[in-house]
């Protein structure tokens, strides 16, 4: 039944593109397949006809597709014979995930062969079998390409349709809605995954995802369509398999023959879905007949047979024990399967049913179809009629020789016999004479060189009487002499005719004519067998390589796999490819036609195009019994695949023509041999490649020879373990990959339970274990968490990469996998594929390698009531139930030591000492352990690593690029010029030559190495600053208004900040002992004896989490006072001259966790008013309530804001008042107007002025063209006042005397520091550090926000809003360091390049924003924000801020309470 989308209102089909590029010579009815007037582009229907652009040749496609890459779907219409030349383009499209459909009309077996020749180019391949299908499948390919971001090749019958075509009409709204439901938006179209069920998607392979997407698209047009369809007997014993071709009257044929016959039509041929094929095939099938329409195939068997062989030897097939392995029969002819009648099919079926082993026959010859073509087909006929010797020669000579003939046709010149033992030929034979072999080709090259010289001289001779036609022809030839299209045989014949007519006119014309036989560019080849590799000198291989001539060598290696070690007494075979690459000027390729047909084609084309010697080493395994019952043709395929998969025969191409070293070496298979790895590392002409070895992925890490010894040792250990199993208990290997420790905790629990059961347990991170040792492990349990967009955690990436590319046999290994993830982390339905993806991928791959599942993959979900614990409880019960190993009575292993908690770590640290002193004295590594790392935060430093270098370091088995961030305790953000210069010097001496002005109103250094920590700390203290309590579970740096309107009050709030900071400072002397040798240099803490240390306020466990304090003076809220645990809002007298006291607010905080609604940002709530003399004491009492009642069991719930919501404000007020001994007064009125900084010159106290400069994201560094750090050092040397750092990351040059203002202004102007000509959007922007140093970052922030603002500024300028301030902030993770959740526009990182978008915070920081879009990319951000910004410009009320506007317009809901933050 046809889909309701189908109508008959149009007479031509449609395809989803606004432009069609055609390289088909005649614009006949075949063009109609892809040029209908009603088309779908981007997310809406296009009313105008698509633009048809004719191409002179198909090679123009690459540049045109690239030019349109940013636009909608692009269609190409190309002849089949051009596909081989487009292989590089097709591979680029696949690599770039381009939404391109290549339509190919086919009308003969030659055309089908051309289509199949590019089946491995990385594109999806679909074939239609009728005029109506051609119409519909064109759209199926278009919609699928859009949705999957995958290029499609659609081949269809190129002959004019004989019947009317019912086509898809886009007129009705219903059609538009259904199409949009399939491809909802351009955003989804560019997503790499289809919509999948959250529980099933992660286990699906790309082939299965593509299959389901295409199947869904097909159903839009006809309910009978399917990528793989079966017709015939339900219990058929013989099944014909075709590539998209329909066999007429299949059921009638089966009935007529009274036999069980069926037909499997594969319309979606790439990627091929094994699951779909298995589901469609009857279980009773005992014979599969590959009914193939191809010609000129280079192998004795057609491509479809190869895929069926792979299917029958797949893990999916083996998993169904009820299925037998059918006999494979290859039925290859030039006739289309659709040409066979029912009776002919019955005859073919009966003939195929006689074979008991893999066989080959020509069905067209059998039934008399296309009799005139059978003679040509006989060249690839029934191999069973050939002698073993003839069969052997066929295998050796057909594949690569046929490819050369197909590719180069009349240009091909093979200069020696294929069986020659040298490049010269065999002694005693005619082809050994000098005119044969290398001598012949060398003579040709020299003659052609003389021809080029002669033509050049002739054209330069103005006296030579050349006709206009000959002059033009020779000029064109000379410019394109190395281009086969220009120097073609036809062009050479035409020039030869002109030369013959004019040679008598001048001696130089006659000289050119004498050499005219060399006008055509030939493809010169020498073909040899593997004996050429035994003596490279004697065989002449060395002569060709060193000659530099444009000669190509094809060397066949016919060794069987596995390769046996050669006897020492025999000659040793040499690696010709490796030998040739050492010259650095020879094109080299290693190919295997039975592994990657497309790669062979590309290598031969590149070798021919390379202007110098080329060596193509081709694998062709054989045996004397190649077609015997013990060694079938399928085994040749299997040997080739195994040799490539194992790395014994790597597929690669080395092209010295590329100047870019990264492109010079292309690895086309997964593994390299050790010899090639060593070659790439050597210091020779390939040194540039050697430096980029990590880019070779698993190829380098999986070298075969390097791991052979390890495998043998592992096997020995496995045998020993089996022998001693009765003594030590059954073995158990537990592996984990964990970023936050949860997956490691799961692994530890499994290990403990294993020990309790008497098992011999090992527990390791994944990257500590060699994948090649897995076959020697009996029982393996894996625990893996999910990072970012379905990524593996850092300490499992190498294992994960290697296991996915492994070809090991796990038949003796049983396994179980537990995954930890968040099912709501990627909320869109199509992104459900990322949920627990690493666990699902590992589980699937281990099963494919033959491993036996103990239980199905189990998943822990953060969304469950107990988080991952819920899933783990079920996993643990099922695991031990399946293993049936009970706890050992009376002899259980002791429980593993309880993992230390953060609270325990503080208590046992001896007041923050731990083993820090020993750790920083250890120069053998650049890091400290987890527990010292946690304690170091209390001392003001975090351990980090450069994440830009992490993967490279890991690939080289080196430790991460560890360094330390140091944060200064700087109450109120006030520093002297001398302190600025001290920090500037320390940044250069010990840091990464930059400083960060943080959102905590202080200095931060990055890149300090462990060995320099102590000296850096001492340098800070010598500048009369310190770092104690700048981080950690204590009161941190106290911030205060930096540049209030009431300038005379700033010193008062700065002093209050300093007083509070000193009052709440930890009393431990550990800081001074570790960093300063107990010498008090700076800071106001009362020091106690190092022998009897104590903490009178904090106690030995300190606080549950950090404690932050801010002080604001209305109307400026530049500190964002509501974002802190404790906030002071200054209340002034009526004259606005004096501070009377403060409204006290508590419970603010920005941090949360994505998709965990139990965590949320919160703005502080007011306790009441206190006079200013009570300001210091209230900070202590609020802290003590949090110390005593804060959550110490769950750090995600440990901030003061959760304690406020848990107990309520009335309870809090009572608790604080009880500790203070007096009550709060009612809150007093105040008003905030903004939370940004005041830029430029503003008055300070009488006689002084302040200048606030914009420092983008607080980063002080010397940038190209903007030496900011150097300029600020020059300012510090001249400045006589103070510097004030702001909570927005900017700098106030404060207290400049009026008489010094002109000089300072000139200095600022000289260094470009007075430039405030930025948009107000940029001036109110802020970003956290994020990548590359922050270990929590999920996306870029500081490095990316400036670029995003560049893009948004275009919209801002167009809308006329350049001077209108909008607060915009970005963080790389949800922890909120840049205070994003009260900004008017905010971006919170979720994965590389993906952010949650929040709107609706207030301009003065008193309202939370609300999520507007989840997981948006740059393109989507611009798409979403542009219309809102323009709407704001047009529809806002007078003085209305952007955040207020989006609330009034209902774009997002107004939100003040943190508990309402996640409500929509």
- Structure confidence by residue, pLDDT tens digits, 124-178: 999 988 878 888 888 888 888 888 888 999 988 765 444 443 333 333 333 455 6
CA 872/CA 862 separation, integer angstroms: 11
The DSSP symbol for 190 reads T
* CA 773-778-783 angle, 5° bins: 80
Q: Are 714 and 773 in contact (CB under 8 A)?
A: yes
Whole-number pLDDT of residue 1316:
87
Whole-number pLDDT of residue 339:
78
For residue 562, cis peptide bond before it (omega within 30 degrees of 0): yes
Question: Which stretch of DSSP H or E encloses residue 1279?
Answer: none
CA 881/CA 978 separation, integer angstroms: 69
Q: Are 241 and 276 in contact (CB under 8 A)?
A: no
The DSSP symbol for 859 reads E
Whole-number pLDDT of residue 11:
31
- The pair of structure tokens assigned to 1418 is 């740059």
Cβ-proximal residues to 737 (8 Å cutoff; 6+ apart), any chain: 743, 765, 766, 767, 783, 784, 785, 792, 793, 795, 796, 797, 799, 800, 838
The CA–CA distances, whole Å, from 191 to 472, 831, 836 equal 52, 8, 18
Whole-number pLDDT of residue 1198:
96
Cβ-proximal residues to 1251 (8 Å cutoff; 6+ apart), any chain: 1240, 1241, 1242, 1292, 1293, 1296, 1304, 1305, 1308, 1314
Looking up tokens 């033992």, which residue turns up? Answer: 421
Q: Are 947 and 1331 in contact (CB under 8 A)?
A: yes
CA 958/CA 961 separation, integer angstroms: 9
CA 498/CA 471 separation, integer angstroms: 10
DSSP letters, 109-168, are HHHHHHHHTTTTSS-EEEE--SHHHHHHHHHHHHHHHHHHT--EEEEEE-SPPSS---EE
Pseudo-torsion of CA 503, 508, 514, 516, nearest 10°?
A: -90
CA 1318/CA 1290 separation, integer angstroms: 14
CA 1043/CA 1001 separation, integer angstroms: 12
DSSP H stretches of helix in 1256-1363? 1268-1278, 1301-1310, 1320-1323, 1345-1358
The CA–CA distances, whole Å, from 73 to 134, 140, 188, 581, 656 equal 18, 13, 14, 41, 35
- For residue 287, report the phi and psi dihedrals to the nearest 5 degrees: -140, 130
Q: How many CB atoms lie within 10 A of CB 468?
A: 7
Going by DSSP bridges, is the β-strand pair 261-266/228-232 parallel, antiparallel, or unpaired?
antiparallel
Cβ-proximal residues to 639 (8 Å cutoff; 6+ apart), any chain: 560, 561, 594, 621
For residue 1060, cis peptide bond before it (omega within 30 degrees of 0): no
Task: Please list the active-site residues.
Answer: 967, 1036, 1106, 1108, 1328, 1334, 1373, 1377
Half-sphere exposure of 878 (CA within 13 A, CB side): 17
**Nearest of 97, 88, 96, 104 to residue 34 by alpha carbon:** 104
3-state secondary structure of 804: helix
**Nearest of 496, 531, 525 to residue 512 by alpha carbon:** 496
CA 634/CA 131 separation, integer angstroms: 36
Q: How many CB atoms lie within 10 A of CB 614?
A: 27
- The pair of structure tokens assigned to 498 is 């002109």
CA 1164/CA 1121 separation, integer angstroms: 8
- The pair of structure tokens assigned to 1176 is 């210091």
Looking up tokens 């339905």, which residue turns up? Answer: 829
CA 1039/CA 1051 separation, integer angstroms: 13
**Nearest of 1308, 1315, 1288 to residue 1383 by alpha carbon:** 1288
Task: Give the chain's length.
Answer: 1464
Low-confidence ranges of the chain (pLDDT < 50): 1-19, 25-51, 56, 67-71, 160-175, 185-202, 249-257, 371-397, 418-435, 566-572, 623-633, 674, 682-713, 715-727, 891, 1079-1091
3-state secondary structure of 51: strand
Going by DSSP bridges, is the β-strand pair 1262-1263/1266-1267 parallel, antiparallel, or unpaired?
antiparallel
Beta bridge partners of 780: 733, 815
Whole-number pLDDT of residue 298:
53
- The pair of structure tokens assigned to 14 is 């449609």
* CA 1450-1451-1457 angle, 5° bins: 80
CA 1461/CA 1443 separation, integer angstroms: 15
Whole-number pLDDT of residue 1397:
97
- The pair of structure tokens assigned to 370 is 């296309």
- The pair of structure tokens assigned to 480 is 């394109």
Q: Are 669 and 650 in contact (CB under 8 A)?
A: yes
CA 489/CA 508 separation, integer angstroms: 22
- The pair of structure tokens assigned to 896 is 């593993």
Q: Are 281 and 240 in contact (CB under 8 A)?
A: no
DSSP H stretches of helix in 1163-1199? 1175-1189
Question: Which stretch of DSSP H or E encloses residue 1389?
Answer: strand 1385-1391
Q: Are 23 and 60 in contact (CB under 8 A)?
A: yes
CA 858/CA 817 separation, integer angstroms: 6
């Amino acid at each position: 039944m046809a889909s309701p989308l189908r109508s008959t209102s149009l007479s031509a089909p449609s395809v989803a593109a606004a432009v069609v590029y055609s390289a088909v010579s005649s614009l006949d009815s075949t063009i109609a397949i892809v040029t209908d007037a009603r088309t779908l582009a981007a997310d809406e229907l296009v009313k105008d006809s698509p633009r048809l652009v004719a191409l002179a040749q198909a090679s123009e496609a690459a540049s045109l597709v690239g030019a349109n890459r940013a636009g909608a779907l692009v269609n190409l219409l190309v002849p089949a014979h051009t596909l081989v030349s487009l292989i590089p383009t097709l591979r680029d499209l696949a690599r770039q995930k381009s939404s391109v459909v290549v339509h190919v009309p086919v009308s003969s077996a030659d055309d089908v062969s051309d289509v199949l020749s590019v089946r491995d180019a990385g594109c999806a391949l679909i074939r239609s079998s009728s005029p109506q299908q051609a119409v519909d499948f064109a759209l199926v390919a278009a919609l699928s390409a859009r949705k999957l971001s995958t290029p499609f090749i659609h081949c269809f019958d190129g002959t004019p349709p004989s019947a009317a075509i019912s086509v898809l009409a886009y007129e009705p709204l219903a059609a538009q809605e259904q199409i949009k439901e399939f491809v909802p938006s351009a955003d989804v179209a560019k997503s790499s995954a289809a919509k999948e069920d959250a529980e099933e998607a992660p286990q699906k392979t790309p082939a299965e995802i593509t299959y389901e997407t295409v199947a869904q698209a097909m159903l839009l047009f006809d309910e009978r369509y399917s990528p793989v369809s079966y017709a015939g007997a339900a219990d058929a014993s013989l099944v014909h398999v075709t590539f998209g071709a329909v066999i007429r009257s299949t059921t009638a044929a089966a009935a007529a023959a009274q036999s069980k016959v069926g037909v499997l039509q594969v319309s979606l041929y790439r990627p091929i879905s094994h699951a779909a094929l298995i589901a469609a095939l009857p279980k009773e099938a005992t014979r599969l007949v590959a009914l193939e329409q191809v010609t000129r195939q280079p192998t004795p068997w057609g491509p479809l047979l190869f895929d069926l062989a792979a299917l029958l030897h797949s893990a999916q097939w083996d998993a169904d024990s009820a299925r037998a392995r059918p006999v494979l029969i290859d039925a290859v002819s030039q006739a289309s399967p659709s040409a066979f009648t029912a009776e002919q099919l019955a005859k073919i079926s009966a003939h195929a049913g006689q074979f008991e082993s893999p066989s080959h026959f020509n069905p067209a010859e059998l039934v008399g179809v296309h009799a005139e073509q059978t003679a040509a087909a006989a060249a690839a006929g029934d191999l069973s009629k050939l002698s073993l010797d003839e069969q052997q020669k066929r295998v050796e000579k057909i594949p690569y020789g046929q490819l050369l003939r197909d590719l180069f046709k009349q240009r091909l010149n093979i200069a020696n016999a294929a069986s020659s033992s040298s490049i010269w030929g065999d002694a005693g034979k005619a082809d050994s004479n000098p005119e044969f072999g290398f001598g012949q080709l060398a003579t040709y090259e020299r003659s052609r060189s003389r021809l080029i010289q002669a033509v050049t001289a002739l054209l330069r001779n103005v006296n030579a009487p050349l006709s206009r036609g000959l002059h033009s022809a020779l000029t064109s030839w000379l410019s394109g002499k190395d281009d086969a299209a220009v120097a073609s045989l036809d062009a050479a014949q035409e020039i030869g005719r002109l030369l013959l007519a004019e040679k008598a006119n001048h001696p130089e014309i006659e000289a050119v004519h004498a050499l005219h036989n060399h006008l055509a560019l030939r493809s010169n080849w020498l073909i040899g067998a593997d004996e050429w590799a035994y003596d490279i000198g004697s065989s002449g291989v060395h002569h060709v390589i060193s000659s530099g001539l444009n000669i190509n060598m094809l060397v066949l290696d016919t060794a069987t796999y596995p390769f046996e070690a050669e006897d020492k007494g025999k000659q040793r075979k040499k690696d010709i490819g490796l030998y040739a690459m050492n010259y650095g000027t020879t094109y080299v390729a290693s190919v295997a036609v039975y592994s990657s047909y497309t790669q062979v084609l590309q290598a031969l084309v590149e070798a021919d195009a390379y202007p110098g010697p080329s060596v193509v080493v081709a694998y062709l395994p054989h045996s004397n019994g190649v077609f015997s019952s013990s060694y079938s043709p399928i085994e040749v395929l299997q040997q080739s695949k195994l040799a490539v998969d194992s790395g014994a025969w790597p597929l690669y191409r080395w092209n010295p023509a590329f100047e870019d070293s990264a492109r010079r070496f292309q690895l086309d298979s997964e593994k390299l041999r050790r010899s090639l790895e060593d070659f790439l590392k050597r210091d020779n002409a390939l040194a540039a490649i050697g430096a980029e070895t990590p880019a070779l992925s698993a190829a380098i890490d999986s070298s075969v020879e390097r791991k052979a010894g390890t495998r043998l040792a592992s096997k020995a250990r496995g045998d020993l373990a089996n022998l001693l199993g009765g003594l030590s208990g059954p073995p158990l290997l537990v592996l984990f990959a964990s970023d936050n420790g949860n997956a490691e905790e799961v692994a530890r629990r499994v290990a403990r339970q294993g020990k309790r059961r008497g098992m011999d347990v090992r527990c390791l991170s994944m990257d500590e274990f060699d994948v090649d040792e897995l076959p020697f492990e009996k029982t393996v349990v894996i625990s893996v968490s999910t990072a970012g967009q379905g990524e593996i955690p850092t300490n499992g990436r190498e294992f994960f990469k290697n296991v996915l590319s492994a070809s090991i046999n796990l038949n003796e290994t049983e396994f179980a996998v537990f995954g930890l993830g968040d099912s709501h982390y990627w909320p869109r339905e199509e992104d459900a594929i990322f949920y627990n993806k690493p666990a699902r991928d590992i589980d699937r791959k281990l099963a494919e390698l033959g491993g036996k599942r103990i239980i199905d993959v189990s998943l822990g979900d953060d969304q469950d009531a107990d988080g991952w614990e819920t899933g783990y409880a079920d996993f643990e019960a099922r695991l031990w139930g399946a293993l049936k190993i009970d706890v050992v009575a009376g002899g259980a292993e002791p429980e593993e030591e309880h993992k230390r908690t953060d609270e325990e770590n503080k208590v046992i640290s001896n007041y923050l000492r731990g083993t820090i002193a020993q750790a920083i004295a250890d120069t053998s590594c650049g890091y400290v352990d987890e527990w010292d790392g946690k304690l170091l935060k209390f001392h003001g430093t975090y351990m980090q690593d450069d994440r830009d270098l992490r993967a490279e370091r890991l690939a080289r088995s080196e430790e991460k690029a560890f360094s330390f961030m140091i944060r200064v305790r700087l109450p109120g953000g006030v520093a002297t010029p001398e302190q600025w210069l001290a920090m500037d010097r320390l940044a250069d001496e010990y840091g990464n030559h930059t400083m960060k002005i943080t959102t905590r109103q202080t200095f931060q250094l990055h890149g300090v190495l462990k060995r320099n920590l102590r000296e850096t700390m001492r340098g800070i203290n010598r500048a009369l600053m310190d770092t104690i309590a700048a981080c950690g579970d204590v009161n941190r740096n106290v911030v205060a208004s930096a540049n209030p309107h009431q300038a005379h009050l700033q010193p008062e709030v700065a002093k209050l900040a300093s007083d509070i900071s000193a009052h709440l400072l930890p009393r431990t002397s550990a800081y001074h002992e570790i960093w300063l040798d107990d010498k008090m240099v700076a800071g106001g803490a009362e020091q106690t004896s190092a022998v009897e240390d104590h903490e009178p306020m904090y106690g030995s466990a300190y606080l549950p989490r950090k404690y932050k304090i801010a002080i604001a003076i209305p109307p400026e809220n530049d500190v964002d006072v509501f974002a802190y645990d404790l906030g002071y809002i200054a209340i002034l007298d009526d004259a606005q001259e004096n501070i009377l006291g403060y409204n006290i607010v508590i419970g603010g905080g920005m941090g949360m966790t994505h998709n965990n609604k139990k965590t949320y940002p919160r703005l502080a709530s007011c306790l009441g008013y206190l006079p200013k003399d009570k300001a210091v004491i209230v900070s202590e009492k609020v802290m003590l309530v949090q110390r005593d009642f804060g959550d110490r069991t769950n750090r995600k719930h440990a901030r003061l804001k959760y304690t406020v919501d848990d107990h309520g404000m009335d309870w809090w007020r009572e608790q604080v008042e009880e500790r203070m001994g007096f009550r709060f007064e009612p809150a007093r009125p105040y008003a905030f107007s903004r939370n940004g900084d005041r830029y430029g010159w503003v008055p300070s106290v009488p006689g002084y002025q302040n200048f606030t400069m914009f420092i983008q994201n607080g980063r002080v560094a010397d940038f190209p063209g903007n030496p900011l750090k150097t300029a600020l050092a020059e300012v510090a040397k001249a400045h006589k006042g103070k510097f004030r750092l702001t909570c927005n990351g900017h700098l106030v040059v404060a207290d400049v005397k009026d008489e010094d203002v002109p000089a300072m202004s000139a200095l600022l102007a000289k260094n470009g520091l007075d430039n405030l000509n930025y948009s107000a959007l940029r001036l109110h922007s802020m970003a956290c550090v994020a990548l590359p140093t922050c270990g929590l970052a999920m996306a870029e922030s500081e490095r990316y926000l400036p670029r995003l603002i560049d893009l948004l500024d275009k919209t801002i300028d167009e809308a006329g809003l350049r001077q209108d301030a909008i607060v915009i902030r970005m963080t790389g993770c949800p922890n909120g360091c840049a205070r994003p959740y009260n900004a008017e526009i905010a971006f919170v990182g979720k994965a590389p390049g993906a952010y949650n978008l929040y709107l609706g915070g207030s301009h003065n920081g008193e309202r939370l924003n609300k999520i507007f879009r989840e997981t948006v990319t740059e393109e989507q951000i611009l798409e979403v924000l542009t219309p809102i910004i323009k709407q704001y410009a047009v529809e806002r009320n007078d003085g209305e801020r952007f955040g207020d506007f989006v609330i009034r317009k209902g774009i997002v809901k107004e939100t003040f309470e943190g508990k309402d933050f996640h409500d929509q």
